[in-house]
């Protein structure tokens, strides 16, 4: 019976056979086979592999062959392989292919008849069934498996089998077939056993281990690939892996760095990626990964990286990402001024020909200085960035200039708010209004944020309601008003704003987030959670689940329900729902973080909590909530230095979080930094609503 394979598989099957020699028409058609081998010895209706396997099973235990039979069998094997070689040189439409296939089959069948234990004969037959239509993949696999069963050290048989199972697995082309992947792994491991420096084997093993989420095995396979001999034949790997299809040490280094990052082994990743970018300074992908590694190591480990980054910048002087990475690395290693000079020089060079590029470097300089608490200098850099784009206080008419100005002003305001310079931030807002016109409310939103961060919720509410009069259909303003009301202890008033969107939809409303019942029930649940009313939060989350559409929305509703259950004092139900989400989606970062934090709050499974939260942080390394959880997990386990590092990083991304500040105060107190802890708790108190949390922080300050 003919086999039909997906379009993506057929070229791979053909390539498996034809990668060695380019196809060409031979000058002569092979002569017809001699009469004595023209007759098939085995029925065409039965599977060749099945009949040969049965014949092997039927061999008597004392089976022996003569020297003459062994020699004749080997001669037939060579004859069959010669026909296969000739077939490879022909195009598939050449009539000689069918003749050659029949002659090869007769010769190879004769070879295994004379010597049924000739493993190479079965491998050659496996190759034959892929050499001419219909390219029967399953039959080729069966014949190859006979070969390696007869000879467990048959390199050619395992290599052919590994490639066949790799094709069957669909690796590199979408969803991977788990059974075929497992069989391919087994075959490639045998190849690596027989040839420990075989780059192709280790590269395929690394690829399969990635798909099967075997992190340590993947890392070891990549290390072995990195130390393997330079491969002569890269054709099959390139065909399967496409754009990833190089077997060079440089590719192995990049993949090893990526695997180490995925496993949270940042120090090892830093070493590998530093060496890799030194050898390939123009590789921006390596630079991105190096940046991620640098974000997660101590300042003391950064100095050796600087020279490699200088080489990369020399090779790519106009790369904003490389210049920014070099500047940040210098700053974090204790050389802020050197880092600032890198960006100043890049901006000055770009200013002659590209004002926009010059401005981007100045924004990066402002960010660098703001992170180093050089607030005045950072604001100056942001102002220079606006000038580089020729942006003043006049009304901005083109969209690109407006968006750039909004970004820079937001960065400037953030730097001032983080430094507690609220009056100066207010002056920036008022001085920038002419740029955007009366209809634009972006600065009003910044003003509301400013007052909330000052701790003036009543003032924030007043400005927000003024903005809402001019933009009554701005959904973000409605939600912000509800959050402020909840902070003020007016949760039912807040919920009423959102219920109105559910119960009183305008007749002409078009589908939107504003009138999406699922979204609004979720938000109501979060408001009740914020107010500490767990039972009402559960009811709202249940309503969200009832209107959810599809698995993704149901998972989101379960996550919200779990938060409500935890707030209502039912951690068992919360854990059950979180584990159900993770059973469906094992890398859901919210579920990972929330389950880990639940364990921390209930005083159990601290080690598991740490691992869960690390996985969440790996997915979103700049998420302040996940970083806060990571710091708190380290604190619970007594890792005080690591706890402080994580919490300070979280604070960088959310400087007004009362929870992060509260946790950081606890860590500082535990480290003996009592005065600094009190300062941090004072800040936390500004952003804490009225109630038990505020009273708890006051008691910490008093003690």
- Name the burial class of residue 468, with classes exposed (0-12), middle (13-18) and buried (19+) by CB atoms within 10 angstroms of its CB: middle
Nearest alpha-carbon partner for 197 in 149, 249, 236: 249
pLDDT digits (tens, 9 = 90+) for 85-100: 887 776 656 666 778 7
Of the listed ranges 49-58, 235-244, 352-361, 677-686, the least confidently predicted one is 235-244
Tell me, what's the pLDDT at 537? 95
CA geometry: angle 665, 667, 670, nearest 5 deg: 110
Tell me, what's the pLDDT at 431? 92
The answer on pLDDT for 23 being more than 70 is no
Tell me, what's the pLDDT at 26? 36
Q: At a CB cut-off of 8 Å and minimum separation 6, what does 237 contact?
A: 200, 203, 204, 231, 245, 247
Of the listed ranges 20-34, 68-82, 317-331, 581-595, the least confidently predicted one is 20-34
Q: Which CATH superfamily is domain 9-226 in?
A: Tetratricopeptide repeat domain (1.25.40.10)
| Distance of alpha carbon 610 from alpha carbon 636, whole angstroms | 10
Nearest-10 crossing angle of helices 249-262, 284-294: 30
Mean pLDDT calculated for residue range 289-308: 84
b/e string for 10-28 if b means 16 or more Cβ within 10 A? eebbbbbbbeeeeeeeeee
CB 253 within 8 A of CB 259: no
Tell me, what's the pLDDT at 689? 63
Provide the percentage of residues in the chain whose pLDDT is more than 90.
50
pLDDT digits (tens, 9 = 90+) for 668-697: 999 999 999 999 998 888 777 656 778 888
444 half-sphere exposure, CB direction, 13 A CA radius: 22
Q: Return the H-helix or E-strand segment holding 201.
A: helix 199-211
- What does 295-327 look like in DSSP terms, one character per residue? TTS-GGGTHHHHHHHHHHHHH-TT-HHHHHHHH
| More confident position, 618 or 8 | 618
Residue written as token pair 């729902």: 577
- Helix, strand or coil for residue 484? helix
- Helix, strand or coil for residue 275? helix
Tell me, what's the pLDDT at 3? 40
The answer on pLDDT for 164 being more than 80 is yes
| Distance of alpha carbon 197 from alpha carbon 543, whole angstroms | 59
**How much is the mean pLDDT over the chain?**
86
Q: Is the dihedral of CA 322, 325, 331, 333 positive or negative?
A: negative
Tell me, what's the pLDDT at 686? 77
Angstrom distances, CA of residue 396 to CA of 110, 359, 409:
85, 17, 14
CB 100 within 8 A of CB 82: no
Query: Residue 356: pLDDT band by 50, 70, 90 thresholds?
Result: very high
The answer on pLDDT for 413 being more than 90 is yes
| Distance of alpha carbon 511 from alpha carbon 609, whole angstroms | 40
| Distance of alpha carbon 493 from alpha carbon 438, whole angstroms | 29
Nearest alpha-carbon partner for 207 in 217, 195, 192: 217
> Do 9-226 and 589-703 have matching folds?
yes
Of the listed ranges 20-29, 180-189, 299-308, 428-437, the least confidently predicted one is 20-29
Provide the percentage of residues in the chain whose pLDDT is more than 70.
91
Tell me, what's the pLDDT at 41? 42
Mean pLDDT calculated for residue range 514-527: 94
The answer on pLDDT for 33 being more than 60 is no
Tell me, what's the pLDDT at 499? 95
371 half-sphere exposure, CB direction, 13 A CA radius: 19
Highest mean predicted confidence (pLDDT) among 240-244, 501-505, 516-520: 516-520
pLDDT digits (tens, 9 = 90+) for 201-213: 999 999 999 988 8
Query: Residue 29: pLDDT band by 50, 70, 90 thresholds?
Result: very low
The answer on pLDDT for 251 being more than 50 is yes
Cβ-based neighbour number of residue 407 at 10 Å: 13
**Which one-letter DSSP state was computed for residue 577?**
H
The answer on pLDDT for 15 being more than 60 is no
Of the listed ranges 1-10, 206-215, 485-494, 561-570, the least confidently predicted one is 1-10
Tell me, what's the pLDDT at 202? 95
| Distance of alpha carbon 95 from alpha carbon 98, whole angstroms | 6
pLDDT digits (tens, 9 = 90+) for 427-451: 999 999 999 988 889 999 999 999 9
| Distance of alpha carbon 67 from alpha carbon 258, whole angstroms | 55
| Distance of alpha carbon 336 from alpha carbon 64, whole angstroms | 80
| Distance of alpha carbon 368 from alpha carbon 347, whole angstroms | 14
* CATH numeric code, 589-703: 1.25.40.10
428 half-sphere exposure, CB direction, 13 A CA radius: 24
Query: Residue 509: pLDDT band by 50, 70, 90 thresholds?
Result: low
CB 109 within 8 A of CB 41: yes
For residue 31, which phi and psi values (nearest 5 degrees)?
-65, 155
Angstrom distances, CA of residue 444 to CA of 97, 407, 436, 507, 648:
77, 15, 11, 30, 29
96 half-sphere exposure, CB direction, 13 A CA radius: 18
- What does 375-433 look like in DSSP terms, one character per residue? HHHHHHHHHHHHHHTT--SSPP-SHHHHHHHHHHHHHHHHHHHHTT-HHHHHHHHHHHG
The answer on pLDDT for 12 being more than 70 is no
CA geometry: angle 650, 655, 656, nearest 5 deg: 120
Tell me, what's the pLDDT at 342? 95
Q: At a CB cut-off of 8 Å and minimum separation 6, what does 579 contact?
A: 595
The answer on pLDDT for 39 being more than 60 is no
CATH of 516-585, one of 1.10.150, 3.30.70, 1.10.287, 1.25.40: 1.25.40
Q: Return the H-helix or E-strand segment holding 632.
A: helix 624-636
Write the Ramachandran bin of 32: left for phi over 0, alpha for psi from -120 to 50, otherwise beta: beta
CB 345 within 8 A of CB 329: no
Tell me, what's the pLDDT at 19? 36
| More confident position, 101 or 1 | 101
pLDDT digits (tens, 9 = 90+) for 110-161: 888 888 888 898 888 888 887 766 778 888 898 999 999 999 999 988 998 9
Domain boundaries, the chain: 9-226, 516-585, 589-703
- Name the burial class of residue 61, with classes exposed (0-12), middle (13-18) and buried (19+) by CB atoms within 10 angstroms of its CB: exposed
Mean pLDDT calculated for residue range 493-501: 95
CA max distance for the chain: 106
The answer on pLDDT for 82 being more than 50 is yes
Query: Residue 27: pLDDT band by 50, 70, 90 thresholds?
Result: very low
């Amino acid at each position: 019976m003919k086999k039909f394979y997906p379009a993506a598989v057929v070229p791979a099957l053909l390539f498996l056979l034809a990668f060695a020699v380019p196809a060409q028409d031979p000058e002569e058609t092979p002569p017809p086979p001699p009469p004595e081998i023209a007759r098939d010895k085995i029925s065409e209706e039965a599977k060749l592999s099945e009949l040969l396997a049965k014949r092997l099973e039927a061999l008597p235990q004392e089976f022996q062959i003569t020297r003459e039979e062994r020699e004749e069998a080997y001669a037939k094997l060579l004859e069959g392989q010669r026909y296969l070689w000739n077939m490879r040189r022909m195009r598939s439409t050449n009539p000689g292919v069918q003749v050659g296939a029949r002659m090869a089959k007769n010769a190879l069948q004769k070879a295994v008849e004379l010597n049924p234990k000739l493993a190479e004969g079965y491998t050659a037959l496996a190759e034959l069934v892929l050499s001419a239509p219909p390219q029967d993949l399953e039959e080729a696999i069966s014949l190859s498996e006979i070969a390696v069963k007869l000879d467990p050290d048959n390199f050619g048989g395992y290599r052919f089998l590994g490639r066949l199972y790799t094709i069957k697995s669909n690796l590199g082309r979408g969803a991977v077939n788990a059974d075929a992947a497992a069989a391919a792994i087994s075959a490639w491991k045998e190849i690596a056993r027989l040839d420990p420096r075989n780059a192709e084997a280790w590269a395929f093993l690394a690829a399969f281990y990635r798909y099967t989420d075997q992190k340590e095995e993947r890392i070891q396979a990549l290390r072995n690939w990195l130390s393997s001999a330079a491969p002569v034949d890269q054709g099959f790997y390139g065909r399967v892996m496409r754009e990833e299809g190089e077997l060079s040490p440089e590719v192995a280094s990049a993949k090893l760095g990526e695997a180490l990052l995925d496993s949270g082994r940042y120090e090892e990743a830093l070493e590998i990626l530093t060496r890799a970018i030194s050898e390939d300074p123009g590789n921006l992908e390596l630079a991105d990964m190096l940046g991620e590694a640098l974000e997660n190591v101590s300042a003391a480990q950064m100095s050796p990286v600087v020279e490699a980054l200088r080489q990369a910048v020399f090779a790519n002087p106009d790369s904003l990402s490389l210049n920014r990475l070099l500047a940040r690395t210098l700053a974090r290693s204790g050389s802020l001024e050197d880092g600032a000079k890198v960006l100043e020089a890049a901006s000055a060079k770009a200013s002659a020909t590209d004002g926009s590029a010059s401005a981007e470097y100045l924004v990066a300089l402002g960010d660098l200085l703001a992170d180093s608490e050089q607030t005045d200098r950072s604001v100056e850099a942001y102002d220079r960035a606006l000038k580089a784009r020729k942006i003043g206080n006049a009304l901005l008419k083109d969209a690109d200039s407006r968006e750039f100005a909004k970004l820079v002003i937001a960065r400037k305001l953030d730097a001032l708010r983080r430094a507690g310079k609220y009056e100066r931030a207010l002056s920036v807002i008022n001085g920038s209004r002419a740029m955007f016109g009366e209809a634009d409310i972006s600065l009003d939103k910044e003003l509301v944020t400013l007052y909330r961060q000052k701790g003036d919720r009543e003032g924030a509410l007043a400005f927000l309601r003024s903005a809402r009069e001019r933009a009554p259909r701005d959904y973000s303003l409605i939600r912000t008003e509800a959050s402020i009301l909840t902070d003020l202890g007016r949760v039912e008033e807040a919920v009423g704003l959102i219920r109105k969107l559910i119960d009183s939809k305008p007749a002409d409303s078009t589908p939107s987030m504003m009138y999406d019942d699922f979204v609004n029930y979720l938000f109501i649940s979060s408001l009740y959670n914020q107010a500490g009313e767990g039972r009402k939060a559960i009811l709202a989350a249940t309503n969200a689940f009832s209107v959810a559409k599809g698995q993704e929305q149901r998972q989101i509703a379960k996550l919200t329900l779990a938060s409500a259950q935890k707030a209502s004092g039912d951690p068992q139900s919360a854990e059950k729902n979180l584990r159900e989400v993770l059973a469906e989606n094992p890398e859901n970062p919210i579920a990972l973080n929330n389950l880990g934090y639940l364990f921390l709050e209930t005083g159990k499974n601290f080690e598991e909590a740490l691992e869960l939260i690390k996985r969440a942080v790996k997915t979103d390394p700049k998420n302040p909530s996940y970083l806060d959880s990571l710091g708190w997990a380290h604190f619970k386990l007594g890792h005080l230095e690591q706890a402080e590092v994580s919490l300070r990083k979280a604070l960088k991304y959310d400087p007004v979080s009362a929870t992060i500040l509260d946790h950081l105060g606890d860590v500082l107190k535990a480290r003996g930094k009592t005065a600094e802890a009190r300062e941090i708790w004072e800040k936390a108190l500004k952003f804490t609503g009225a109630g038990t949390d505020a009273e708890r922080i006051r008691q910490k300050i008093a003690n």
